[in-house]
Amino acid sequence: MSKNLRIGIIGTGGIANAHVAAYKKLPYVEIVGVADVIPDKAAAFAQAQGLTEAASFDSHTELLRMELDGVSICTPNISHHRTTVDSLRSGKNVLLEKPMSITLQEGIEMTQAAKESGKMLTLGFQPRYDPNMKLLQTIVQSGRLGNVYYVETGGGRRRGMPGGTFISKKLAGAGAMADIGCYSLDMALNTLGYPRPVSVSAFTSNHFGTNPLYHPEASKFEVEDFGVAMVRFENDLVLQFKISWAMHMDSLGATMFLGTDAGLKVTPAGTGPWSGVWDGSVGSITLYHDEYGTQTSTPIPTIGHQLNLFDRKVHDFAEAVRDGREAPIPGEQILIQQAIIDGVLRSAEARREVSIELPDFR
């Protein structure tokens, strides 16, 4: 091993535990500092995690004064922008929890900060590490479907609304569309090779979250629990994207890719209210095509695996930093889906189609 990696954790709430658990499995990683804005929370976290050597701070800026190779940013969505820009500008590589940010402008600034600092900004989308995601990309990008002109993705929970920081506009910035929508968007866009969006028309609602019958924190519920959007891309491709945290329905359907020569249907893995396409997990893949003048369908065997996808994403970040590799899931790519989420929120508020202006970081 060439050297030890010095890692810091920003935000010591729920998901930080999974980051620390994954880092602890790597003998060459040392977690040397943790920070949280709630006084003493970081210190309590370090103690509970047995990080006896780690310094703790009540702000990320204090942590960033340390010599660090990288940070995991595990704060609520709204502070992703500030903490990421500050970390990159102080020369730290960043593994950022999803979603990237709330507004497109924030995403642009974060991407610029990565370019200017020469440091890595990678996004924590663990479903990417499912080998079936690569399989989908291989099938669609092989050209087997012909010209892909329509894609439908999303899905949802019949009843699965979070609470706490996730439902506060001030802290989460957005609801289901950004929280779980970012996974299905990534599934579709990554499979297609991240085409560039040009406009979006969206509708969002929160009939369940704001109803005390369905949510114990209804009076504090400020974000969307349902959303649907029609996104237009360059080259006459359209994508319908729908997400729910709660609904009177079992499913919002499968992910599908319609092409001029064949179609592909992807169903979610798992059952139950918190399972589904929304998290990018692949249950079945079926190709719909014509053979010898007849309409037929062919199941494509999925790849079974025992991978811990969350560990894989943290380990890939650490390995990329250690080996001087490019960002595994780079900010400039995820900026494209951030532009869609930003457009969804603008369009839903304006109640009309809005255009998407995306800078070119390629």
Residues 173-202 that bind ligand NAD (CB under 6 A): 179
Given candidates 8, 124, 155, 259, which one binds ligand NAD under the rule CB under 6 A?
Answer: 124
Q: Is 103 in the site for ligand NAD (CB under 6 A)?
A: no
Given candidates 4, 137, 165, 286, which one binds ligand NAD under the rule CB under 6 A?
Answer: 165
Q: Is 130 in the site for ligand NAD (CB under 6 A)?
A: no
Q: Is 75 in the site for ligand NAD (CB under 6 A)?
A: yes
Residue with smallest beta-carbon separation from ligand NAD: 13
What ranges in the chain are assigned the alpha helix state H? 16-24, 41-48, 60-63, 80-89, 104-117, 131-141, 169-172, 176-179, 181-192, 309-323, 331-350
> What is the distance between the terminal CA atoms of the chain, rounded to a whole angstrom?
33
3-state secondary structure of 207: coil
Nearer to ligand NAD, 201 or 337 (CB): 337
Nearer to ligand NAD, 41 or 289 (CB): 41
Q: What is the CA radius of gyration of the chain?
A: 21
Answer for the pair 287, 220: CB distance below 8 angstroms, yes or no: no
As a dihedral over the C-alpha atoms of residue 163, residue 168, residue 171, residue 175, rounded to 10 degrees, the angle is 80
Q: Is 97 in the site for ligand NAD (CB under 6 A)?
A: yes
- CA dist 189 and 116 (Å) reads 26
Answer for the pair 315, 26: CB distance below 8 angstroms, yes or no: yes
Q: How far is the CB of 295 from ligand NAD (least distance, A)?
A: 39
Binding mask 43-72 toward ligand NAD (x if CB under 6 A, else -) reads: -----------------x------------
Q: Which residues bind ligand NAD (CB under 6 A)?
A: 10-16, 35-38, 41, 60, 74-77, 79, 83, 97-98, 124, 126, 164-165, 179
